[in-house]
Structures are given as C-alpha cells and as structure tokens.
Amino acid sequence: DQQVKQNSPSLSVQEGRISILNCDYTNSMFDYFLWYKKYPAEGPTFLISISSIKDKNEDGRFTVFLNKSAKHLSLHIVPSQPGDSAVYFCASGSNDYKLSFGAGTTVTVRA
Amino acid sequence: NAGVMQNPRHLVRRRGQEARLRCSPMKGHSHVYWYRQLPEEGLKFMVYLQKENIIDESGMPKERFSAEFPKEGPSILRIQQVVRGDSAAYFCASSPGGTRPGYTFGSGTRLTVV
C-alpha cells in the first residue's frame, strides 16, 4: 500500500523561478517528514526535514510546508538553479528508523 | 571521511544464482538500513540492522533474502536463487541512530538478473 504519494512525476521550471513539489500521505501516525534529492547513478541525499509539531521549515533556498489536517506537504525551491535538476523524493516516518518514500518527482530546470 | 560505501556498483546474475551486496557504513555509524527501488517506484524499506542484530526485517521477502551486519566487516544483503523480479537498485544507508534528521545513503548496487 502506497502511504506516501507524489502525484506529479515530473516538473519543468525556468531558472530563477520557484519550484513547488507536492506530497500527500495517508498514515496519520507519521510525525516526521523528509525530502531527499537524487542524481542519476547516485544515492539519495538528505535535503530538509520537518516534524509534525511545525508547519514550516526553511533552509536557504529550500522551504518545506506541512499541512497536517490535509496530510500534505510541499517543498519550495526559490530561486531554482540548473544544479537543482534531479529526482526529489518525499519520505515520512513514525519511528526512528523506517521511512516510507514516494515515487519521486523529476525536476528539470531550464536555462 | 568516506561516506556509505556499497559494492559492487553493478551486479549481473543469471537466474538461480546468488547475489551478495555489501555495505560499509560511515565511520562511527552503527545502524544500517537496506532499501530497494524497483523501476518507476520509490524506495521500499527492507531491513534495519545494528551490529550483530536484526532489529526489523519486516520489509524483507519471506524467502531467498537475508541480511547480516557482523561485528567486524560490512553489512551483507544476500539474495539466493535470484529471479528477474529481483532486478532493482539496492540502497544501503547508515546513521549513528535514528532517522532524524535523515540518514546517509550509499550510491547503491544495481542488480540485473538475466
């Protein structure tokens, strides 16, 4: 069963503009949420996280928003840069070790 | 300060053979996690190990798959009698403990069963 869903398999954005990636989850026990970035032939790299006691977390150009009532989170990248072209995975967990991942969104930043 | 090291990067096995995937965690990390990514899907949790202990193997297929993390040496994910459906990318991650803020993944082993 797919507990974490990323409904947009791809996103194309112009350099300098905002990228918005969305993620929905079904398990109300999830209390920790992460975004990973992955380049081809490499492993996922941790990007940013948020716990359920917050609704926003910011780190440089990356901001994650959490809407618990809607079981929805989003990642905003502002401004988008060519090096941001990658696959982005949303992941969620309810304990200290097991994560459920979405299928990923491929972001392409156009010059 | 090497990251999580996985080898081999690519592994080709014929149906019925055994596949052994190795993972050396980051220095100072004693927790190892294995995930599998099938084509067009996200990563799926397989197993969580600490030194000499399997903590949670709820994501492991019931047959043919096993994992270990011995006192000395790398963690090993073993797949016996491989079938075509085992073809996937297998990622190992490590942490000093817990996922918060997020554990470190290796580059993966891409297993192809022919």
Q: What b-and-e string marks burial along B40-69, b requiring 16 or more CB atoms within 10 Å of the CB?
A: eebbebbbbbeeeeeeebebbeeeebebbb
| Cβ(A63)–Cβ(A75) below 8 Å | yes
pLDDT digits (tens, 9 = 90+) for B77-93: 999 999 999 999 999 99
pLDDT digits (tens, 9 = 90+) for A43-59: 999 999 999 999 999 99
pLDDT digits (tens, 9 = 90+) for A55-91: 999 999 999 999 999 999 999 999 999 999 999 999 9
d(Cα B38, Cα B18) in Å, to the nearest integer? 19
Residues 6+ apart with CB under 8 A from A40: none
Mean pLDDT of chain A: 95
**With a CB-CB cutoff of 8 Å, which residues 57-86 of chain A face chain B?**
none
Is A43 close to B31, i.e. CB distance below 8 A? no
* B98: contact with A, CB 8 A cutoff: yes
Residue B104 or A12, more confident? A12
pLDDT band at residue B1, thresholds of 50, 70 and 90? low
pLDDT digits (tens, 9 = 90+) for B2-14: 799 999 999 999 9
Residues 6+ apart with CB under 8 A from A69: none
pLDDT of residue A103: 95
Is B44 close to A89, i.e. CB distance below 8 A? no
Chain A residues within an 8 Å CB radius of B50 = none
> What is the residue whose two structure tokens read 């019931």?
B62
Chain B residues within an 8 Å CB radius of A7 = none
